[in-house]
Chains A and B, each alone.
Chain A
Amino acid sequence: MATALRIDNLHKSFKTGFLLQKKTILKGISLHVDQGEIFGYLGPNGAGKTTTIKCVMGLIFPEDGDIKLFDLPHLSLKAKERVGFLPENPYFYDYLTASEFLRFYSQLFVIPELEKEKRIEDILQLVDMKKARNLQLRKFSRGMLQRIGLAQALLNNPDIVILDEPLGGLDPLGRKEIRDILVRLREEGKTVFLSSHILQDIEMICDRVAIIVNGEIVNQGYLQELISERILFTEIIISGLGKSDLEELGESLSTPGGKILLKIHDEKKINSVFRLIQDRGGKIHSLTPRTETLEDLFVGMVKKK
């Protein structure tokens, strides 16, 4: 599959403080995004996600490393024609109305004059902002700004959309709406690259992810492959037995209603639990094997650092 975005060995540091000490933010980031996938760039706050994205968009210049968009140098206009970008916490010219704003930005692309208005209409429709078209952006709520931000990113019908924390600061409904739009973009064959520090968002829609911690990629790949199918432990909810009977088998916890939640780490012990319950006339209410989640992986990675 063709590569939409390739980042090779990216290094970036900032000079901070009074003495202009060098602080290294990105320590050799490499990743590649295939065409047509939703790629999640995952990491805790301050890991360097925004810094990476700013390098890709040419807002800051890395000290070292190479960035290619569709095998073109990322700063070439040819590459930029094919990219849409939504920054973190977007803010736009607050004195413009939504449609004035989109009209202004549409002039920065090579779009035939006749097509412009139709394009703007379609996009306002897509992000469900038709009613707000004549409202000044200063009167927009957080969610509305996010959607008009998405609209400006899609104006040029880009092949790749790069979004920095697109779901940040939105309520659950707003998040779902944006997620739906992103999935629709993938269906149209576009590539989506989004960063997030919220796992659920990524887990729900991403094909592949890269995890960045402290300026380094600690893991990268298909979600299913990163998260092993290995069963971590099994949770069994039981009644009719005393807590003391279960001591040797695993951790037990009393739950409301006289039930006991038993957490078994050793698979072999599950059968002994069944036998014990049969012997004592107890009852099994539920049995849940817990496999690894992205969250476990994530927390593990962050801890290791």
Chain B
Amino acid sequence: MKIKAIALNTFREAIRDRVLYLLLFFALASLLFSRLLALLTVGDRVKIVTDVGLAAISLFGALMAILMGTGLVFKEIDKKTIYTLLSKPIHRHQFLLGKYFGLVLTLFVMLFLMTVIFFVIYFLHALKIEWSMLIALFYIFLELCLITAVALFFSCFSTPILSSIFSLAFYLIGHLSWGLETLFKKMSPGIGKVTARILYTFLPDLENFNFKTEIVHHLPIPPQILFFSTIYGISYTVFVLFLAVLVFRKRDFI
């Protein structure tokens, strides 16, 4: 109940942020651009629209998650609205979770808007709707939930700019770390292999949420992979939120 009140207020605050609309604008521009690109190329135009469209939604969604996630808690501390809020009978973790769910709600709405536009553009092109794309979009949403948690975690102890850089690094590493997996599988046993393996275990692998290729090329996705990605996303998010609460609980607000 208290978490819900804070979440709704966070949502109300977030949807007034101009940065959000700037990113939304760029996302829509990219979607339109994908159509233009498709018209100019030979080959499978529908694939290009799908590919560029999903990539744009994923990228701009992540940027929204990072900028909102790192900004909103900091603002609350910076403007000292947190003083009265935390003096109310709420636990600090309730405040943090309220912020988190408010952000997730905001991202859900933004993702929904982008999806609607994307489907319209896709329909104009293919004259049909490919519902299987909702699977890819669902996993993009899971990824955004994780990135929001990471952004929130960093903003619990550093400034928005630093937190944004850290979160962006998390995003990039997360999309490149699968290389490590390939690497350690090819390496001969030894110290190097163990290191690569340990690194891979702890570094995020955001490619687990990437089903663009499968959707674009109509490849079958085994259900156990979908199941694994869901569990991976939820447990990673819960873990990061838990760390954020640990840091936030002991923090001085000065």
Contacts and interface: CB of A to CB of B under 8 A. Distances in A.
Interface of A: 14, 54, 57-61, 77-78, 80-81, 83, 85-87, 89-93, 95-96, 104-105, 107-110, 149, 152-153, 156
B84 interface: yes
Q: Chain B interface residue count: which class? A: 20 to 34
A58 B83 contact: no
B89 A60 contact: no
A8 B19 CA distance: 47
B250 interface: yes
Contacts of B85: 105, 108
22 contacts: A14-B254, A57-B86, A59-B83, A59-B252, A81-B89, A85-B87, A86-B84, A87-B84, A90-B80, A90-B84, A91-B80, A93-B9, A93-B81, A95-B13, A104-B9, A105-B85, A108-B2, A108-B6, A109-B89, A149-B84, A156-B88, A156-B89
A54 B77 CA distance: 14
Given A59-B252, A60-B253, A77-B91, A105 B13 contact: no
Given A91-B81, A95-B12, A95-B13, A58 B86 contact: yes
Contacts of B2: 107-108
B162 interface: no
Of all A-B residue pairs in the complex, the 10 with the closest CB atoms, nearest first, are: A107-B5, A80-B89, A85-B87, A60-B252, A108-B88, A77-B89, A87-B83, A59-B253, A57-B87, A81-B89
Interface string B63-103: 00000000000000001111111111111000000000000
A93 B5 CA distance: 14
B81 A108 contact: no
A80 B88 contact: yes
Interface of B: 1-2, 4-6, 9, 12-13, 16, 79-91, 250, 252-254
Contacts of B79: 91
A61 to B, nearest CB: 6
A107 B82 CA distance: 16
Contacts of B254: 14, 54, 60
A204 to B, nearest CB: 26
Contacts of B84: 85-87, 90, 92, 105, 149, 152-153
Contacts of A91: 79-81
A192 to B, nearest CB: 16
